[in-house]
Amino acid sequence: MEYVIGLLSVIATVAIPLFVRRRDRPRREVRYGVVQVVPGIPSQGGVPVTLGLQIWSSSRADIPSATFDRGRPIAFRFSAPVELLHDGLGDWERSDRTPRLVSPSELHIEPQVMHQDFFISLTLRASEPFFLRVDNPLIDVRVVRDVKVERLAPSRQDRGIQQSRARARVSVLAVGVWAVAACLLLMVTGFFWFLADQEVGAGITTVGVLLFPFAIVLLVSAAVQKIVSNRETSRRNEQSRLPIM
């Protein structure tokens, strides 16, 4: 019985803070990628004629319109002129908030509620390689280029987008930190409880001591994984600075 109490204490100590954090601070993120529209795009002088700009939400919650700082739009700035061929929307879906080119080298997404399933696919024509820069006015929301989706064949892009939405639901590093903290808390709690009830206190302390090495291994593994992931992200960011096409 004492060990059951200790185990339940570990679960509660780890699960409750993670649940509260996920509820109060859901991940909000917008991703985009410049992709092939069809395999083997026709080209002129080695430069593709058409390409797709896909923009989607990988958030766990809707992004409210109030997140747009001072009502400024998300601006995609091209270093060379592009032409919008198709926005993938029907006439009934278009409004003054539909993503649009405000100039041959700038596309805007106006302030609006961006739901979890937000997705837009634009077909563009470019006459020369270009750099793409994004001005992000969203408060506490990242706008990131998904180089991984860009590398996929057109038939696999939808799956890649869905995977980006499902990724990192709960941080393993956060679980490791909370697990170590829970074990330490159990050992301290068990010690003081031991003064009042030796059996229960010993049970709680024993559970904390037994699980502590596993929590340390989890924390170290998650930290190493995080370091490797950050290096991979840095490498992709370097690639994203290269001219498109």
> Which pLDDT score, from 0 to 100, does residue 170 have?
58
> What whole-number percentage of the chain has pLDDT above 90?
20
Where residue 138 falls among pLDDT bands split at 50, 70, 90?
very high
> Could you tell me which residue, 114 or 42, shows the higher pLDDT?
114
DSSP letter, residue 74: E
Scanning the chain, the segments in alpha helix (DSSP H) are 2-24, 147-150, 157-166, 172-196, 198-240
- Kindly report the number of other CB atoms within 10 A of residue 103's CB atom: 10
Per-residue model confidence as pLDDT tens digits over 157-177 = 888 888 888 754 556 777 788
Please compute the mean of the pLDDT values over residues 177-198 and round it to a whole number.
Answer: 80
> Which pLDDT score, from 0 to 100, does residue 181 have?
82
Per-residue model confidence as pLDDT tens digits over 210-233 = 888 888 888 888 888 778 766 766
Per-residue model confidence as pLDDT tens digits over 4-48 = 555 566 566 656 666 665 555 677 899 999 887 755 455 555 555
For the chain, how many residues are written?
Answer: 245
pTM over 0.75? The answer is no
Do residues 109 and 74 touch, judged by C-beta distance below 8 A?
yes
DSSP letter, residue 116: T
Residue 214 to residue 239: CA distance in whole angstroms? 37
Class of domain 29-153: mainly beta
> Could you tell me which residue, 76 or 148, shows the higher pLDDT?
76
The tokens for 189 are 């709690």
The tokens for 135 are 């001005």
Residue 44 to residue 101: CA distance in whole angstroms? 23
> Could you tell me which residue, 158 or 244, shows the higher pLDDT?
158
